[in-house]
Amino acid sequence: MGQKRKKRILWITAVSAAFLIAVYLGGAGYFTRHFFPGTTVDGQDISMKTAKEMDQYLREAVQKYRLVIIDGNKKKSAIYGKEIGLQTMDADNGRALLKKQNAFLWPFYILSGRGPEMEYRVSFDEKLLEDKISALEVMGEERKQAVSAYPEFDGNSFVIKPEKYGVDQDLADEKIRMYIRELRPELDLEKEGCLKTPDYLSDSPEVTAACDELNRYCGSQITYRMGEDVVVENNRIASWLTCDASMQITLREDAVREWVHEFAEQYDTVGKVREIISPVGKTAQVSGGTYGWKIDEEAETQALMDSIRKGEILEKEPAYIQQAASHSSQDWGNTYLEVDLSSQYMWYIEDGMVALGSDVVTGEPVPEKETPSGVYSILYTQENAVLVGEPDPLTGEPIYRQKVSFWMPFTEQGHGFHDADWQSGFGGSVYQFSGSHGCVNMPVDKAGELYGMLEAGTPVILHY
């Protein structure tokens, strides 16, 4: 009984060994014609394929090949194999690779589930690839450097413009070539370390704080009451703001000053041409003089910048060096003195009505004695004044000293209204042969009457 059992065991062992040997040798024979499970060629799975099948499979893979390139902004570009002349280098790659496979090691690869990594040789046209790489958006000249996220005005408010990653183009070029040779389908430049990271990202607290500050400035709205409102709105303010590479905000004083200057040029009236219609219906153009609106540009520049920094919403008048009566085209309002130098007549208009009229004598029509045209204002009023002329070059003494009862000057050079009891007549052509030294001569009674009605600051319009 024991002998029989031993023989049976030996027989079973022999049969099993023969079976295992047969299986092993059969497997080895099979894997002389097929690739091991898990075998890859440049990332392509060729498990259990024959050399012919592998060649066909990889030829098709080469023909259909496309490398997708993902940049730091998650934009995708692609290079197609047919664009660069991609092809296999050997007609019989499969057989050559299969010969490198040790078929007798097949149990190891079956159990591990992981085959060897083999290299499959491909070629491409270098010039075509260089041109294609250069044409890629991700490889453009402007993409070399990283660009930080930054606040940008969108027409209504500041929003954060996303960052842009720069590209290490030499490394990216190297990786593209490597991926193509390995027929790998997707290159993520960020994962491969090909990107240059910007200093500030969209969620960086410095960028958020800068955006908030800019919007606080742009929340200002300054309305100037100028007859018609002039509004400094957010889009204008935005053009005056800058944000540097360190996210520091600057309200550009030069830009604000330039706007205030243009604003002043539009609304200042001193010396500008205005039109007047006299009580007799005559229309005249008048320019020059010292009367009118004049904005204090320096003070208003600083005030406007201060309001913007505070984010104020307000209505205001600008800071003035001097003011006039009205923002209308006739900025002297409806109470003023008018002198027609051509007709030698003057009117005192009070609240739009003629309160006084009089013939006058103005300056003799020679350059050194002419009465200036323009818009002025009464500087002050004085009774019993002594008018003193310019010094005589020969004697050094004033060319005249003249007592007057009523003196109402309108220029710092000494032009004014006063009584002139030495004149034998007024109006007409008297000024041509008995003209003043530039003042407006009046009859004594009319000068006294005007003096009793007039106040310092009253506008004076003199025209031809």
Quick one: pLDDT at residue 43?
62
Q: Do residues 286 and 462 touch, judged by C-beta distance below 8 A?
A: yes
- The DSSP H or E segment spanning 148 is none
Burial of 128: CB neighbours in 10 Å, binned 0-12, 13-18, 19+ = middle
Quick one: pLDDT at residue 106?
73
Full 3-state SS string of 83-124? HCCCEECCCCHHHHHHHCCCHHHHHHHHHHCCCCEECCCEEC
Quick one: pLDDT at residue 120?
65
Q: What are phi and psi of 279, to 5 degrees?
A: -60, -20
b or e along 88-107 (b: 16 or more beta carbons within 10 Å of the residue's beta carbon)? beeeebbeebbeebebeebe
Quick one: pLDDT at residue 169?
86
Quick one: pLDDT at residue 416?
98
Quick one: pLDDT at residue 117?
63
Q: What are phi and psi of 385, to 5 degrees?
A: -95, 160
Q: Name residue 405's amino acid.
A: S
Q: Name residue 24's amino acid.
A: Y
Quick one: pLDDT at residue 10?
73
b or e along 7-33 (b: 16 or more beta carbons within 10 Å of the residue's beta carbon)? eeeeeeeeeeeeeeeeeeeebeeebee
Grouped pLDDT means (10 residues each) for the chain, 464 residues: 69 71 70 73 70 73 87 83 84 66 72 65 87 79 79 96 88 91 89 90 96 96 94 96 96 98 96 96 96 98 97 96 93 97 98 98 96 98 95 87 97 97 96 96 98 97 98
Token code pair at residue 101: 């496979």
Quick one: pLDDT at residue 146?
87
* Rounded to 5°, angle at Cα 294 from 292 and 295: 150
